[in-house]
Amino acid sequence: MPASTASPRPAMPLALYALAIGAFGIGTTEFVIMGLLVQVADDLGVTIAAAGLLISGYALGVFVGAPLLTAASSRLPRKAALVALMVVFTLGNLACALAPDYAWLMAARVVTSLAHGTFFGIGAVVATGLVAPERKASAISIMFTGLTIATLLGVPAGAWIGLHFGWRATFWAVAGIGVLATLVVALLVPRERGERIRPRLRDEVRVLGRPQVLLGLLATVFGYAGLFAVFTYIQPILTRISGFADAAVSPILLVFGVGMIVGNLAGGRLADRRPVATLLGTLAALAAVLALMTFALHSPTAAVLFTGLLGVAAFATVAPLQLRVLQKAEGGGENLASSFNIAAFNLGNAIGAWLGGMVIVHGPGLGAVPWVAALLTVAGLAVAWWSVRLDQAGPKAPSTPATLVPISRTA
């Protein structure tokens, strides 16, 4: 009714914050191992390099597991799938805490990672269904706030626990977060209406073949690869180019973490109002920040400033990129397409880290990583621009009535 537009904006549903708690736990377990490598290596009798592979194994599990586990759970109601995924996450972290050797720990990390992409993928679909259409991007950003807070607070806290009580205690603590997240998701996330007409798996797979869905996934891969080309090597960049001591890196990364939170929430709000302009604008902003970092890194003050701006620009892209894929998959493919986009973020992570390493090892060197990273994001921007142009040039596909897959907006 028209009168509703004059009423104050309703508060975001509590279910979104339940999803954010799950995202916090998943984000913590993904990155906390970076602060535990020495303890894990010493305790299990492996090298630091071997311990580092626990990060690669997790990332590979996310990339492979996101579409596979989404497909396997395609017949489950979304709420039931989210609860099941948090159970997998909790059991995986318990297995990490109890791991008797390196092989067990690696297997447990991979099992835990399987829940990652599918939780964020299905969670994004649920989040957008809990709010009015004009607030979908903000709903996505609130869920992803759990991931950004994990980077800012969860990972340092986990590293502190590991330092004082042993690395296994960190995984026990994360498993406790998993138990909490399982309970709040089960209690607060509403059951969907209309689940009897959920699409079949082959119909969801068919949606992935839509050109605009594929372009959305490609924009995510290249757009986000630029971030990780730089962020993977942020420690040597700050110490060898900007001249910071090793001890200064952690406080500077807190600046990055604050930037992530600000950018994530701002990107969601902007995408609610102008989704296309925000998609193109945030990717352009990320490319500009990366390019300018090439010059800013030679000044310590500018290096800190641009590290924070990198966090803002990078995470401002998350909600519009995820929303773009969801919009283009409407009509039955939202679950699988959303999970594939989470996998695309991780593929961008892998590509960016690999290319950054190639630039360092084979030239032109560490100082060139930011502008090479900017070229990756420019490629993502070009893909997104092409996708938008196709929207404007061609006939618009008939939209699917919202009544086909309705989602309750009340708990």
CA nearest to 96, candidates 58, 127, 132: 58
Same domain flag for 353 and 290: yes
Residue with tokens 């835990």: 112
Residue 406 clears pLDDT 50, i.e. is over it: no
If asked whether residues 180 and 211 sit together in one domain, one would say no
Q: Please indicate, yes or no, whether residues 210 and 187 belong to a single structural domain of this protein.
A: no
CB 337 within 8 Å of CB 208: yes
Q: Which of 195, 211, 227 is the last residue of a domain?
A: 195
160 and 257 co-located in one domain: no
Q: How far apart are CA 383 and CA 378, in angstroms?
A: 9
Instruction: Give a yes or no: residue 404 inside a domain.
Output: no
Residue 196: band (very low, low, confident or very high) from pLDDT cuts 50, 70, 90:
very low
1 occurs within a structural domain:
no
211 with 286, same domain: the answer is yes
SS3 of residue 189 by DSSP:
coil
Amino acid at 35: G
Structural domains in the chain (count):
2
Q: Token match 């996998």: residue?
A: 343
Q: Decide if 188 contacts 411 (C-beta within 8 A).
A: yes
- For residues 189 and 79, the answer to whether their CB atoms sit within 8 Å is yes
pLDDT tens for each residue of 76-127: 888 999 999 999 999 999 999 999 999 999 999 999 988 888 898 888 889 9
CA angle 231, 233, 236 (to 5 degrees): 130
Where residue 62 falls among pLDDT bands split at 50, 70, 90?
Answer: confident
What would the two tokens of residue 227 be?
A: 């971030």
- Regarding whether 214 and 108 lie in a shared domain, the answer is no
- Asked if 179 and 44 sit in the same domain, the reply is yes
Who has greater pLDDT, 64 or 271? 271
Instruction: Give the residue from 199, 224, 176 showing the smallest Cα distance to 346.
Output: 224
- What is the Cα–Cα distance from 31 to 217, expressed in whole angstroms? 24
The answer to whether position 403 is within a domain reads: no
Gap between the Cα atoms of 214 and 296, Å rounded: 35
* Cα gap 279→123, rounded to integer Å: 21
SS3 labels along 67-117? HHHHHHCCCCCHHHHHHHHHHHHHHHHHHHHHCCCHHHHHHHHHHHHHHHH
199 pLDDT band, cuts 50/70/90, is: low
The whole-angstrom separation of Cα 297 and Cα 106 is 36
Which of 29-38, 211-220, 320-329 shows the lowest mean pLDDT across its residues?
29-38
Last residue of a domain, one of 144, 160, 195: 195
Distance between CA 379 and CA 146 in Å, rounded? Answer: 28
Is there a domain that residue 65 lies in?
yes
pLDDT tens digits, 127-137: 988 888 888 88
- 3 in a structural domain: no
- 134, 167, 195 - which closes a domain: 195
Q: Flag whether 2 is in a domain.
A: no
Rounded to an integer, what distance in angstroms lies between the CA atom of residue 364 and that of residue 369? 8
In this structure, the answer to whether residues 131 and 217 fall within a common structural domain is: no
Domain that holds residue 157: 13-195
Whether residue 94 is found in the same domain as residue 130: yes
CATH number at residue 74: 1.20.1250.20
Q: Is residue 238 part of a domain?
A: yes
What pLDDT is attached to residue 392? 84
| Model pLDDT for residues 239-271, shown as the tens digit of each residue | 889 998 878 887 888 898 899 999 999 998 999
| Residue 384 falls inside a structural domain | yes
The 10 Å Cβ neighbour count of residue 392 is: 8
What distance in Å separates the CA atoms of residue 342 and residue 336, rounded to the nearest whole number? Answer: 10
* Arithmetic mean of pLDDT over the chain: 85
Instruction: Mark whether 123 and 77 lie in a shared domain.
Output: yes
Q: What span, in angstroms and rounded, lies between the C-alpha atoms of 277 and 388?
A: 10
**3-state SS of the chain: helix, strand, coil percent to 5?**
80, 0, 20
Q: Categorize the per-residue pLDDT at 193 as very low, low, confident or very high, splitting at 50, 70 and 90.
A: low
In this structure, the answer to whether residues 55 and 173 fall within a common structural domain is: yes
Residue with more model confidence, 30 or 293:
293
Looking at the fold, whether 204 and 173 belong to one and the same domain comes out as no
